[in-house]
Amino acid sequence: MHLRRLIIAAILMPLLFFYVTRLPVQYSFYLITVVAALGLYEFYTMFRLNAVMKYLGMAWGIGMMAVFYLSPASMYSFLLSAGLFFLALRLFLKPDPASSMHETAATLLGLLYVPGLLTFQVSIAMHSPDWIIFLYATVWAADSMAYYIGSNLGRYKLYEAMSPNKTIEGGVGSVLGGIIGAGILKAAMFPQVSVPQFIILGAAVGATTIVGDLVESMLKRDAGVKDSGSIFPGHGGILDKIDGSTFAGPVFFWICLWSGVMR
């Protein structure tokens, strides 16, 4: 398992680096949109939405990404219109009111949870694609350190009801890994980031990576599934791979913006 994680990281990280840094920024948007669409498919499949709600929800999610990229100020209206549309759709789709709350709530939560949170990564890429590398490399460092420290030193459960295998020691490892990863990136690519800034960024990414992971575990337990999908054999689905970065992305963006690191 250790070796498999390292092999996947060794393949994906260089591919992500060259794709994001060598191509125009719109290609980062295309990639994030594809990830959002696949993530929505997994989310809606987990909660067993009917085909009409599932595929219209995916189409709406892709539309959300496009609206945000072209006109961020229109996102609020677009989100509210999703509420109107899917409530009305469910009303006329089935004459039976049973499960209407589940179906409409799951559809709308999927839009907020997947494309909604991923729009922050579009914002990061639009400032500079290098910052996407900073985010994902720091998340990967945090996740890896959490895994190895938790596996070898973990004794005290972090939140057993949501994720029985996660430990407090692993959580501390995630924060330390985020700081170490951010420090390496500062030295290699981001000299403008000060020492206090990379420590805050790394610690925040490490902490929110754990929260994002636990949130996805909570949703999977509610849906009664082990993995969100099977796109990565033996490693689950898209949501299993981006659960940490979906939560870390907004926090990373806000800290960079408020601290003046990202201009």
Alpha-carbon gap, residue 86 to 92, rounded angstroms: 10
> Where are the chain's structural domains?
2-259
Query: Are 175 and 206 in contact, with CB atoms under 8 Å apart?
Result: yes
Given its phi and psi angles, is residue 48 left (phi above 0), alpha (psi -120 to 50 degrees) or beta? left
Give the helix, strand, coil percentages of the chain, each rounded to 5. 80, 5, 15
DSSP classification of residue 115:
I
What does the pLDDT read at residue 263? Answer: 66
For residue 184, what are its two tokens? 């390496």
Query: Are 68 and 122 in contact, with CB atoms under 8 Å apart?
Result: yes
For the chain, list residues with pLDDT below 70: 1-10, 230, 232-235, 263
Which of 154, 115, 61, 54 lies closest to 239 in space, CA to CA?
A: 115
Which of 209, 190, 68, 93 lies closest to 143 in space, CA to CA?
A: 209
What does the pLDDT read at residue 1? Answer: 47
Query: Are 176 and 206 in contact, with CB atoms under 8 Å apart?
Result: yes
Beta-bridge partners for 28: none
